[in-house]
């Protein structure tokens, strides 16, 4: 929709606009109002360059998008029927909980196994374990490929699917060769478009679920959804969106908690939402509140840093990991809440009509 600077375009200006939109296979129709005329673009109006050209015209005030910029992630796209399972569960029908260490200590596999066992007992569906770590300081522990074997061994021992974060193509290939069940793209790589494309391509056949964290510097929600569109448009439609807090942080928290964007995400896109309360508030004592708030906002699941003896952790664990016994309580409370909030979600998520529990 084109809004002109003056009450209406001159004949010459209208011709210029017509010429631009026709180059992109669109047409333009004036809609006269009482005080001004606006101009509707008809056709697929998602061409970035068309928008840039129109917005660059000196007689155009602004151009509003009617269609969303993401064709595949859009709630109205064909893919909205896309249903995939995580640990055998269909998101939206059952609560999904991912839990585990921020970082696996390759020198202490037993510590991870102890946690994994307790986490499985607590009722988690997927086990997390950081093999490679995106650390703020290059002097901090960066991860070690050897830890992937520990993660895979934990999966076999405790019969629980596993997820790990990758930061580049090489790590992605190691993770895929090791047959991890799910891949995490961290907040720092949420806008690494080359990596997002590569992930879509390399998981095209396996279609393993990809958990995409929201970048801490991300502003508009459309930027987050468009990042997921990169993965989907390059071959893997099984994407999960993960709000994890943004900057600037609330004084006392690690980030600015953003679990409240879940209803907005769910109105715009069909993708499941799994919230990370650990990196959002960043302190174990606040995590239960943030986790339950996320479920109250309609999240399909949680990813929570959990550790049997957090003080011995080598990543974020010592300050923000909860104990598996707390995880068990959160899961119990979250389950009740999860089904209770469905009645509110039905007002804006049409697919929920069939979810009965």
Site residues (vs Mn ion, CB under 5 A): 102, 316
HSE-CB of 168 using CA atoms within 13 angstroms: 5
Task: Say which entry of ligand PEP, Mn ion, none residue 244 contacts (CB below 5 to 8 A, set by partner kind).
Answer: ligand PEP
- 282 lies in the site for ligand PEP, by CB under 6 A: no
Rounded least distance, CB 136 to ligand PEP, Å? 10
Task: Say which entry of ligand PEP, Mn ion, none residue 213 contacts (CB below 5 to 8 A, set by partner kind).
Answer: ligand PEP
Rounded least distance, CB 247 to Mn ion, Å? 16
Task: Say which entry of Mn ion, ligand PEP, none residue 151 contacts (CB below 5 to 8 A, set by partner kind).
Answer: none
Rounded least distance, CB 316 to ligand PEP, Å? 6
Binding characters for ligand PEP, 149-178, by CB under 6 A (x = yes):
----------------x-------------
Of 123 and 134, the one with the shorter C-beta distance to ligand PEP is 134
Q: Name which position in 187, 231, 294, 295 contacts ligand PEP (CB under 6 A).
A: 187
Sign for the CA dihedral angle at 250, 124, 357, 86 comes to positive
Rounded least distance, CB 184 to Mn ion, Å? 10
Q: Name which position in 47, 120, 266, 279 contacts ligand PEP (CB under 6 A).
A: 279
Q: Name which position in 120, 244, 266, 307 contacts ligand PEP (CB under 6 A).
A: 244
Rounded least distance, CB 315 to Mn ion, Å? 5
Q: Name which position in 30, 109, 123, 134 contacts ligand PEP (CB under 6 A).
A: 134
Sign for the CA dihedral angle at 295, 297, 301, 302 comes to negative
Q: What distance, in Å, lies between the first and last C-alpha atoms of the chain?
A: 42
Residue 316 near residue 277, CB atoms below 8 Å: no
- 241 lies in the site for ligand PEP, by CB under 6 A: no
Residue of 276, 279, 310, 336 lying closest to 111 (CA atoms):
310
Q: Which stretch binds ligand PEP (CB under 6 A): 137-145, 182-190, 198-206, 224-232?
A: 182-190
- 102 lies in the site for ligand PEP, by CB under 6 A: yes
Binding residues for ligand PEP, rule: CB under 6 A, are 102, 130, 134, 165, 186-188, 213, 244, 276, 279, 316
């Amino acid at each position: 929709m084109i809004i002109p600077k003056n009450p209406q375009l001159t004949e010459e200006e209208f011709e210029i606009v017509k010429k631009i939109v026709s180059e992109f296979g669109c047409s333009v129709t004036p809609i006269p109002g009482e005080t001004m005329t606006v101009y509707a673009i008809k056709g697929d109006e998602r061409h970035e360059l068309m928008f840039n050209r129109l917005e660059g015209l000196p007689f155009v005030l602004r151009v509003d998008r009617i269609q969303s910029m993401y064709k595949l992630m859009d709630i109205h796209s064909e893919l909205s029927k896309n249903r995939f399972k995580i640990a055998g569960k269909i998101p939206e029908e059952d609560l999904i909980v991912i839990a585990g260490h921020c970082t696996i200590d390759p020198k202490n596999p037993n510590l991870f196994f102890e946690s994994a066992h307790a986490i499985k007992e607590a009722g988690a569906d997927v086990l997390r374990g950081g093999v490679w770590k995106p650390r703020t300081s290059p002097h901090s522990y960066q991860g070690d490929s050897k830890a992937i074997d520990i993660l895979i061994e934990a999966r076999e021992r405790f019969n629980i699917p596993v997820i790990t974060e990758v930061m580049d193509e090489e790590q992605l290939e190691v993770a895929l060769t090791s047959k991890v069940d799910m891949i995490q793209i961290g907040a720092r790589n949420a806008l690494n478009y080359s990596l997002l494309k590569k992930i879509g391509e390399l998981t095209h056949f396996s279609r393993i679920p990809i958990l995409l964290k929201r970048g801490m510097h991300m502003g508009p929600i459309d930027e987050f959804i468009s990042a997921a569109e990169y993965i989907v448009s390059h071959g893997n439609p099984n994407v999960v969106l993960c709000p994890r807090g943004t900057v600037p942080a609330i004084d006392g928290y690690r980030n600015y908690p953003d679990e409240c964007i879940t209803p907005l995400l769910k109105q715009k896109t069909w993708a499941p939402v799994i919230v990370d309360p650990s990196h959002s508030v960043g302190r174990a004592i606040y995590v239960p509140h943030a986790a339950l708030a996320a479920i109250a906002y309609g999240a399909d699941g949680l990813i929570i840093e959990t550790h049997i003896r957090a003080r011995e952790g080598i990543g974020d664990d010592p300050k923000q990991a909860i104990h598996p016994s707390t995880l068990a309580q959160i899961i119990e409370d979250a389950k009740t809440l999860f089904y209770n909030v469905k009645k509110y979600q039905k007002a804006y998520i049409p697919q929920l009509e069939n979810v009965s529990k």
